Structure 1
Amino acid sequence: MTVSRAFKADSLVSPETREAILKAAEDLGYVFDSTASNLRSQKSDFVAVTIPSINNANFADTVGGLSDTLAKRGMQILLGYTNYDIDEEERLIEQLLRRKPQALVVTGGSHTARARRLLQTVAIPIIETWDIPADPIDHFVGFSNMAVMRDMVDHFVASGCRRIAFIGGDVQRDSRGSERRLGFIAAMQAHGLDASRLIAAGPPPISMREGANAMAKLIEIYPDTEAVVCVSDLAAYGALTECRRLGVPVPERFSIGGFGNYEIGEVCVPTLTTINAFAREIGEQTAQLILDILDNAQPVGNVRISTQLIVRDSSRQLQLVP
């Protein structure tokens, strides 16, 4: 019993005794098996998480913030990869719930009907991230993917651009990308501008190569375009490099903006105008919300993340209105 308590940092075990037990375990190469303890308490020491991409820097930052914050309480994450497929997300949710997590974190607010039923019937915290769902299952930590596009479009319009295009992915697979596309259309229409310059770059996640291909297609179809809003910084970087390959000056000929505040946007030439969604903060706030719920802290609610437009060299400077 004392050994078991020592591995769980039980306050009933003195620091000296716990240190001696942990040293003996280290010398023996012993790894504590928490299965029996979890069965008895009906509690695990992990939080289940589903993400659509494992090579996306934004989602990696979110998982990092989530993991680091939970680790301070001795909790870990169990990760599921959906590849932007809601049917795969449904399968993963069922598998993860069988392992009795303390909470389950999903990316976005679009799920299959069965996935929603599974999430609505479990007695654990469910957190939807990277979105503000129209019908939240439980709690959310995110922002409006539609609203963020308004900031980018407003910036381009204020700098004198009127013929603005959007580069994005398959709207059926990426709900957040689809909402950014809708946000672009709504913002353009609010300014009384044509919102029909929409270039599909392929299935998500959109790569730099696909962004470059989409930019080449845009130049061919809409050569008089003045600015381009891209669904992500990777697509925007691809568009930027395609302009450089063709000898098209940026921002003199095309202003380009992305989303996500990737590191590459700070070091490319010209540097990339983007929207910072504070990916790591989403993970940290999600973890803190879970801990508050588990501790029965009050109040427990939703977290709205405030995004930030970052204007860099890839877009024209604002024009002063006399």
Structure 2
Amino acid sequence: MKGGKGADGTKSAPGLRERSGTARPRMADVARIAGVSTATVSRALRQPELVSPEVRGKIAAAVEHLSYRPNLMAGALASARSKTIGVIIPSMINAFFSVTLEAIEEGLAGAGYQLLIGNSHYELETEERLIASMLAWSPAALVVTGCRHSRGAMRALLDTDVPIVEMWELTDNPIDTAIGFSQRDIGVAVARHFKERGARRLGFVGAMHQRDYRADARRAGFFETALSVGYEAPAEVQLPGLPTSVRGAKAFAELMSAHPDVDAVLCTNDIVALGALFEAQRLGWSVPERLKICGVGDVDFAAACEPGLSTVSLPRRAIGLKIAEVLRERIAGNLPTGGVHDLGFELVRRGST
């Protein structure tokens, strides 16, 4: 059955993934399978050096078999939850995520919850370890960035009974709640904008597309739409390492040297686009007459550039506030699941295009 819209206009998920909802394995279950006492299991998990290798091996096999996570709130009721909400982001230095974190805190103000922040560095394996660590503290809820996870992380998220929010992306089949926007549609919107502005040959300057699949989705939307509206495949250069303005300028120069007929360039974000704009001005090229440039993010300097940088404004603050709103309702038991919330984005047209 396809999803519809509720009274508040929220899109319901057409196929929320099944979650077990069963009670989590207990230490006594591990002890029973391993053939030891609960005290021995506790000792092996907390002070493994005090337990023989043979017994540790039996306990480890039982833990793996049960997908057991030790409850670090030992002594509390089995149904107890901490006042902690875990949030896993891919970067601590990306201002987009810090704005979302602040908005989550603002939306939860007065409710007594504290955020526990983890940094995955855009690595699925690191995210999996962070999820396991945070769930061991019996959080009230868990927020993860994106909808793509490792097999182990997916199993942990599906097995737990705490509210889960996947943010900064959309999917028709969330684990519980998805709050964000379509990354692919950003590339679609920019390609169409360039077509409207009369661009003849498109280019793309990207970064970290092997690690950041959300950026790769924007690229895919840009390339597919360019081909569908009559362009040849956009010329492309990928930055090595983290995206910076200096690297953006160098990559842009490389792109234009190899493809001098390019007259419109999408950059993976505003930082890279700023470097491209600086390099175009250094070369004496008129923007937007000779070259049109568009970024993604709408950071503060985008409007202050000369000419102003065309870009895509992302709902970074709105995402955080919506997460807080949904979690309040989920934790209170007023919503069975949070569904899918598409907060959209805005193409901001300025002087650079």
TM-score (norm 1): 0.83
2:204 equivalent to 1:166: yes
- In the alignment, what sits opposite 1:147? 185
- In the alignment, what sits opposite 1:87? 125
Aligned pairs for 1:298-309 (under 5 A) are 298=335, 300-309=338-347
Kindly provide the amino acid, as one letter, of the partner of residue 130 in structure 1: W
Give the Cα separation in 1 of the matches to 2:132 and 2:161: 14
Residues 166 and 132 of structure 1, relative CA distance in 2, 3 Å threshold: same
2:111 equivalent to 1:73: yes
- In the alignment, what sits opposite 1:42? 80
The offset of 1:86, in angstroms, is 1.2
- In the alignment, what sits opposite 2:280? 243
The answer on whether the counterparts of 2:81 and 2:140 sit within 8 Å (CA) in structure 1 is yes
Give the Cα separation in 2 of the matches to 1:268 and 1:202: 25
Q: Secondary structure at the match of 2:339?
A: coil
The answer on whether the counterparts of 2:174 and 2:340 sit within 8 Å (CA) in structure 1 is no
Q: Which residue, 267, 274, 277 being the options, matches 1:230?
A: 267
The answer on whether the counterparts of 1:128 and 1:139 sit within 8 Å (CA) in structure 2 is yes
- In the alignment, what sits opposite 1:221? 258
Q: Which residue, 183, 198, 215 being the options, matches 2:221?
A: 183
2:306 equivalent to 1:269: yes
- In the alignment, what sits opposite 1:198? 236
- In the alignment, what sits opposite 2:94? 56
Bigger CA drift: 192-201 or 292-301? 292-301
Give the Cα separation in 2 of the matches to 1:65 and 1:95: 24
The answer on whether the counterparts of 1:38 and 1:44 sit within 8 Å (CA) in structure 2 is no
- In the alignment, what sits opposite 2:159? 121
Give the Cα separation in 1 of the matches to 2:162 and 2:109: 19
Q: Deviations over 1:190-216 (max 9, x none)?
A: 20211241211124x422222112111
Q: Secondary structure at the match of 2:192?
A: helix
Q: Secondary structure at the match of 1:147?
A: helix
The offset of 1:38, in angstroms, is 9.0
Aligned pairs for 1:273-312 (under 5 A) are 273-298=310-335, 300-312=338-350
Q: Secondary structure at the match of 1:80?
A: strand
Q: Deviations over 1:85-133 (max 9, x none)?
A: 1111111111111111111111111111111111111111111111113
TM-score (norm 2): 0.76
Residues 75 and 38 of structure 1, relative CA distance in 2, 3 Å threshold: farther
Give the Cα separation in 1 of the matches to 2:214 and 2:240: 15
The answer on whether the counterparts of 1:108 and 1:133 sit within 8 Å (CA) in structure 2 is no
Give the Cα separation in 2 of the matches to 1:308 and 1:38: 50
Q: Secondary structure at the match of 1:292?
A: helix
The answer on whether the counterparts of 2:201 and 2:234 sit within 8 Å (CA) in structure 1 is no
- In the alignment, what sits opposite 1:208? 245
Kindly provide the amino acid, as one letter, of the partner of residue 148 in structure 1: I
Give the Cα separation in 1 of the matches to 2:277 and 2:302: 10
Q: Secondary structure at the match of 1:39?
A: coil
How many residues matched? 280
Q: Deviations over 1:223-258 (max 9, x none)?
A: 111100111111111111121222222112111001
Give the Cα separation in 1 of the matches to 2:190 and 2:75: 49
Residues 91 and 244 of structure 1, relative CA distance in 2, 3 Å threshold: same
Give the Cα separation in 1 of the matches to 2:271 and 2:234: 22
Give the Cα separation in 1 of the matches to 2:285 and 2:128: 45
Give the Cα separation in 1 of the matches to 2:333 and 2:80: 18
Bigger CA drift: 294-303 or 118-127? 294-303
The answer on whether the counterparts of 1:150 and 1:184 sit within 8 Å (CA) in structure 2 is yes
The offset of 1:157, in angstroms, is 0.7
Q: Secondary structure at the match of 1:60?
A: helix
Q: Secondary structure at the match of 1:189?
A: helix
The answer on whether the counterparts of 2:183 and 2:214 sit within 8 Å (CA) in structure 1 is yes
- In the alignment, what sits opposite 1:259? 296
Structure 1 stretches of 4+ with a deviation exceeding 3 A read 35-38
Kindly provide the amino acid, as one letter, of the partner of residue 256 in structure 1: I
Give the Cα separation in 1 of the matches to 2:125 and 2:207: 19
Structure 2 runs not aligned, ≥5 long: 1-71
Kindly provide the amino acid, as one letter, of the partner of residue 303 in structure 2: E
The offset of 1:298, in angstroms, is 4.3
Percent of aligned positions that are identical: 36
Kindly provide the amino acid, as one letter, of the partner of residue 225 in structure 1: V
Q: Secondary structure at the match of 1:184?
A: helix
